[in-house]
Structure 1
Amino acid sequence: MTTTDTTAPRRYPLLIGGEHVHAPGGRLFTRTSPAHDRVVGEYVEATAEEVDLAVETARKAFDDGRWRDLPGMERARVLRRVAALVEEHAEELARVEALESGKPVAQARGEVATTAELWYYAATLAQHAYGDAHNALGGDYLGLALREPVGVAGIITPWNFPLLIVSQKLPFALAVGCTAVVKPSQLTPGTTLILGDLLTEAGVPAGVVNIVTGRGDVGARLSEHPHVDMVSFTGSTEVGKKVMTAAARTLKRVELELGGKNPQVVFPDADLDAAVDAVVFGVLFNQGECCNSGSRLLVHRDIADEFVRRVVEHARRVVVGDPLDETTKVGAIASDEQLRVIERLVGEGTEAGAELLLGGHRLDTPAGRFYAPTVFDHVTADMSIATTEIFGPVLSVLRFGSLDEAVSITNSTPYGLSSAVWTRDVDTALAYARRSRAGTVWVNCFMDGFPEISFGGYGESGIGRELGRHAIDAFTELKSVVVHTGPRRSPWVPLEGTDRP
């Protein structure tokens, strides 16, 4: 199941003010590879003091304009250099990501490639962050709407896609002139810290991007800090609510990308071969540790028995194993805590009466923590496995008989991140897409993403949008400027000694 990897643990400092900051007094924490049970990284355990220093450094860098006042073309050049360096260091980044997170290295390479695409795309927005003008206010007025950077952005990222998700935020903040303090998850901070060095190499001025590592108290301090102007957070809905509460103390804006319980809805007229593969991919990709995981299958009763049988057989062929093995499709569960969550919810599904067709147990391996691909059939919409984000390779199958019923089941959870519909009928596809309360609806595809397409959720799946041209909204303020030309008309109180009416 696992291969031997004897690479020595890598030690990572903080990045503050363009300088590496090592742990005063030796305050370090480590990351054990979830697949190999050996330490792969050592990181600085930041305190409030380091967080405050990072924020004040970012504040100074913003206020003195060293990045904010550069022409958009100059910022774009730097962001393109970052993208090129990500491509140059792709193998290093992918390997660190696989070791820290447990995901297959082949998948990690794909994520690194997408990361570079995000930086290239964000660079275009550095030159296309437009305001507006209003020239129909009367002959002696001109109205301007200026789009200005919000200031210091606090960026808090999760453990499941550390490099990809920081790159859904940071380059867009930089594109419009913000400075930033980034706090990656304590489970997978390595690739973010490597990215920090690439930013320096690419020419991002010292102090513009600062990276601090540690546990939840670091993120909490960042969220409440009075000199942070906005917080962008990706993670669980539970923690997202805490971030929002902390941010409310200073009324800073928040952007939240949170949980999901995303359905794939399959109608009888669909391309069933494509749908089977997409359903298995959707729930097993990244071990199911994905906010976009297609963890619910809604299948029409007319085809349910045969379709579910095919899903189970297809899932049996998926290779679960060492993340460093090129053939692996499903790697290790990221932590013992997450493994316990999966085991608890699978137990609840069994107790509730769902029919376990596949898996439902931890795999017996000499090292690491691996969970078998799992499929439950005859799940009802009130079961916890149909409403709770499991964050594991667990599929819940629910059956429906009409479009109305499919929509009702889709919208029966607090989440609204994404959904998918499989049908050859355009009327059915568009009717479902319009009625599904989700930020993204895929039609005859699943988890097909592009830097140009906005991403975010309804309800408890979050606030705001990442990616696409709307990504800069969270990192900018709109300022109205009203310009009057010529003499002031109709003074409120006539000036003494004038002949104005």
Structure 2
Amino acid sequence: MSVSVPSTTSIRRAPGSEPLLASGDLAPAGHFINGAFQPGSGPARQVIDPCTGETIASVADGTVEEVDAAVAAALAAKDAWGRLVPKERSEILHRIADRLAENAELLARLESANCGKPSMVSEDDVAGTIDTFRFMAGALRATTSMAAGEYAQDHLSLILREPLGVVGVVTPWNYPLLMAAWKIAPILAAGNTLVLKPSEQTPLTTLKFAELVADILPAGVFNVVAGAGSVVGSRLSEHPNVDMIALTGSVRSGRAVARGAAESLKRVHLELGGKAPVVVFADAELAAAAESLRAAGYWNSGQECGAGCRVLVHESVASAFTDLLVKEVGTLVVGEPGAGSDVEIGPLTSKEHFERVLGYLERAQAQGIRAALGGGAIEGPGYFVAPTVLVDVPDGAECSREEIFGPVVTVETFSDEAEAIARANDVPFGLAASVWTNDARRSHSVASKLDFGTVWVNSHLVLANEVPWGGFKGSGYGRDLSVYALDDYSRTKHVMHHQSR
């Protein structure tokens, strides 16, 4: 690629004498089916350290036959698991959370080694994973439904919430452990069994999770088949004994899963991409907005579907805001996960994605869009891209409409509120957005007109297990987190009793 950054931008490297992983940290490299690891029959796939490009481990690619075996195990286990009363399932989820907490440091190191994440990001992921299981353990005991009552004369109606059965799950490479938890916890809480396919690029923490909980969950309730989406994901989507398919991933993957599920008319849950606009009005606290975007735009190296990656700022304060943003982003520490607890930006997760992000930057440069900071790869081993702020971005530019999914924030200007709303909505995604203003009426009005599943006011990328996460339009449908996830992974049955005498 021709894009580059100044030679003063550097990567802090970890001391060579302190390896991130020790002998025995990795789980067995096979698939986890019916409560035990089984060696894969398919070819081995190399798992790569994105900091160096070197191989960490080899994990077998799953086959259709292995998916079928995992689905058969989940099918055999579903009735007994679904019949457990909420208290029993809750206690098991609490035991899982306890086991994860006991192994939090190990899981964080595995996540950092596989994904290149700074320790602060991996530790946050593990903490969020633990809290997800604890929340769902409580929420499953307090589900609510329509009140029983006589809605037709002499007939008593009862509304039941039932498990769906077997759920197929496909998780992404950017948050392999946390996104797995966002699916596993509510699926189990609702009384379902599942077969999960982790990303072939980042399977290590999912396999370790399976090893850690093997003695807690009954055999067959939770299964993992690693491998390619074109094989494992496709088979899960089309399998006649899978009742629902849930995916967090790209729009392309979402379309493929939905097509595969169409033949059997199974339910589909999709959490797909995003291109979150950050709408900054002239009366906003500009310094606070810039400081927030230092994290919200670049957390996990921008490999975050809700990242605040597209700034729309009022033309009267655009110059001042851009100066503040560049100053904030310029202080980010880039490095390997073992190079210190203050490292904030790691590499992109794969060579393929690294080249994809650089392609966006190269094309932006060719279109006359200027990098006020960064703008390319950082010299040296690994897949590091400098934290970048792109300015002079015209309306409709590729870099402001498509999901780059890297440490890149674009800055555009607008003239009035109506233009800001129209431009913010003029993207194919609808996952998240934020509004920055000190005008309370404006904040309510604008938030109601933004076509996104989550809208923050004077903050960005703040999540909690108690509130739902999911999008509109090309960002998919279904909700993760909160009691809404329990609704997604269960079905409603109406039982009506004729009671006249």
TM-score range, shorter chain: over 0.9
Equivalent in the alignment of 1:344: 359
Equivalent in the alignment of 1:372: 386
1:20 aligns to 2:37 (yes or no): yes
Deviation sequence 1:196-236 (CA, Å, 0-9, x none): 123223x2111100011011211111111111000110000
Q: Where do 1:48-447 residues align within 5 Å?
A: 48-62=64-78, 65-201=79-215, 203-216=216-229, 217-325=231-339, 326-365=341-380, 367-447=381-461
Structure 1: 5+ residue runs without aligned partners? Answer: 488-501
Deviation sequence 1:9-59 (CA, Å, 0-9, x none): 8342211110111134x7322211000332222222211111000001101
1:130 Cα deviation from its structure 2 partner: 3.4
Deviation sequence 1:50-107 (CA, Å, 0-9, x none): 1000001101111xx2211111001000101111111111110001101111111221
1:42 to 33, 48, 58: 58
Q: Distance in 2 between matches of 1:282 and 1:341?
A: 21
Deviation sequence 1:425-446 (CA, Å, 0-9, x none): 1111111110000000011111
Q: Answer with 1 or 2: which has the greater Rg.
A: 1
User: 8 Å contact 1:184–1:213 — kept in the other structure?
Assistant: yes
Task: Tell me the number of residue pairs that the alignment of Structure 1 and Structure 2 aligns.
Answer: 482
Percent identical across equivalent pairs?
Answer: 37
1:323 Cα deviation from its structure 2 partner: 1.8
Deviation sequence 1:301-333 (CA, Å, 0-9, x none): 111101101111211111111122222100011
Q: Distance in 2 between matches of 1:137 and 1:315?
A: 60
Question: Match of 2:182, SS?
Answer: coil
Q: Distance in 2 between matches of 1:243 and 1:380?
A: 34
TM-score, normalization: structure 1? 0.94
Question: Match of 1:167, SS?
Answer: helix
Question: Match of 1:269, SS?
Answer: coil
Deviation sequence 1:343-395 (CA, Å, 0-9, x none): 11112212223222111111001x21100111111212311001100011111
TM-score, normalization: structure 2? 0.94
Q: Which amino acid letter does the alignment assign opposite residue 2 of structure 1?
A: R
Q: Which amino acid letter does the alignment assign opposite residue 158 of structure 2?
A: L
User: 8 Å contact 1:132–1:146 — kept in the other structure?
Assistant: no
Q: Distance in 2 between matches of 1:149 and 1:373?
A: 45
Q: Distance in 2 between matches of 1:16 and 1:70?
A: 21
Q: Which amino acid letter does the alignment assign opposite residue 34 of structure 2?
A: G
1:138 Cα deviation from its structure 2 partner: 4.2
Q: Distance in 1 between matches of 2:272 and 2:82?
A: 29
1:474 Cα deviation from its structure 2 partner: 1.7
Q: Which amino acid letter does the alignment assign opposite residue 255 of structure 1?
A: H
1:295 Cα deviation from its structure 2 partner: 1.0
Moved more, 352-361 or 467-476: 352-361
Q: Distance in 2 between matches of 1:91 and 1:185?
A: 22
Equivalent in the alignment of 2:479: 465
List, as ranges, runs of 4+ consecutive aligned residues in structure 1 with deviation greater than 4 Å: 5-9
Equivalent in the alignment of 1:498: none
1:342 Cα deviation from its structure 2 partner: 0.7
User: 8 Å contact 1:372–1:393 — kept in the other structure?
Assistant: yes
Q: Distance in 2 between matches of 1:139 and 1:248?
A: 39
Q: Which amino acid letter does the alignment assign opposite residue 239 of structure 2?
A: H
Question: Match of 2:83, SS?
Answer: coil
1:139 Cα deviation from its structure 2 partner: 4.5
User: 8 Å contact 2:167–2:192 — kept in the other structure?
Assistant: yes
Larger RCO, structure (CA 8 Å, separation 6 or more): 2
Q: Distance in 2 between matches of 1:108 and 1:89?
A: 13
Q: Which amino acid letter does the alignment assign opposite residue 355 of structure 1?
A: R
Q: Distance in 1 between matches of 2:241 and 2:259?
A: 16
What is the Cα-based RMSD across aligned positions, in Å? 1.4
